[in-house]
A and B are shown apart, each in its own frame.
Chain A
Amino acid sequence: MTEVKAELVGSVWKVKTQAGAQVAEEDELLVLESMKMEIPVTAPRAGTVKEVRVKEGEVVKEGQVLVVLE
Chain B
Amino acid sequence: MSDDYGRLVGELHTRRKKNLAMGGAEKVDKQHQRGKLTVRERLELLYDPGTFVELGLLASQQSLRGAEADPDGTPADGVVTGHGEIEGRQVWVIAYDFTVMAGSMGAVGEQFKAARVRELALRYRKPIVWLLDSAGARIQEAAGSTFAGTGWLFAEQVVMSGVIPQVAAMLGPCAAGTAYIPGLADFVPMVKDTSSMALGGARLVKAATGEDVTDHDMGGSQVHCYESGVGDNEVANDEECIATVRRFLSYLPSSNTEPAPFVETGDPAERLVEGLDKIVPVNPRAAYDVRKVVRAIFDHESWFEVKPTWAKNIVIGFARAGGHAVGVVANQPMQKGGALDSDAADKAARFIRMCDAFNVPLVYLMDVPGFMVGSQVEKEGIIRHGAKMLYATSEATVPKVTVIMRKAYGAGYYVMNGKGYQPDTIVAWPFAEISVMGPEGAVNIIFNKQVEASENPEATRAQLVETIRAQINPYLAAGWAMIDDVIDPAETRRVIIKGIEQARDKKIDRPWRKHGNIPV
Taking Cβ atoms with an 8 Å cutoff, the residues of A that contact B are 7-9, 34-40, 61-62
Contact = CB atoms under 8 A, between A and B. Distances in A.
Given A36-B284, A37-B285, A62-B376, A8 B336 contact: yes
Contacts of A40: 287, 334
A61 B335 CA distance: 16
Contact of A35 (B286, B334, B370, B376): B370
Interface in B371-385: 372-374, 376
Contacts of B308: none
A36 B376 contact: no
A9 B376 contact: yes
B337 A37 contact: yes
B291 to A, nearest CB: 15
17 contacts: A8-B337, A8-B341, A9-B374, A34-B339, A35-B336, A35-B337, A35-B339, A36-B285, A36-B337, A36-B438, A37-B287, A37-B333, A37-B337, A38-B285, A38-B287, A39-B336, A40-B287
Chain A contact residues: helix, strand, loop or mixed? loop
Given A36-B284, A36-B438, A37-B285, A7 B336 contact: yes
Contacts of A35: 336-337, 339, 369-370, 372-373
B286 A8 contact: no
Contacts of A36: 284-285, 337, 369, 407, 409, 438, 440-441
Interface residues of B, number: 23
A26 B409 CA distance: 29
Nearest to B440: A36
Nearest to B412: A35
Nearest to B341: A8
B338 interface: yes
Contact of A39 (B287, B370, B373, B407): B287
Contacts of B372: 8, 35
Given A36-B440, A39-B337, 8 more contacts: A34-B337, A34-B339, A35-B339, A35-B370, A36-B369, A36-B441, A40-B334, A62-B376
Nearest to A39: B337
Interface in B37-69: none
A64 to B, nearest CB: 12
B465 to A, nearest CB: 11
Interface in B388-422: 407, 409
Most buried by B among A37, A38, A62: A37
Given A8-B372, A9-B376, A38 B339 contact: no
Contacts of B440: 36
Interface string B319-339: 000000000000001111111
Contacts of A62: 376
A9 B373 CA distance: 9
Nearest to B281: A38
Most buried by A among B341, B373, B374, B409: B374
Nearest to B340: A35
Nearest to A61: B376
Contacts of A61: 376
A25 B287 CA distance: 18
Nearest to A37: B337
B89 to A, nearest CB: 40
A47 B409 CA distance: 38
Interface string B192-212: 000000000000000000000
B332 to A, nearest CB: 11
A39 B337 CA distance: 6
A9 B339 CA distance: 11
Contacts of B337: 8, 34-39
Contacts of B284: 36
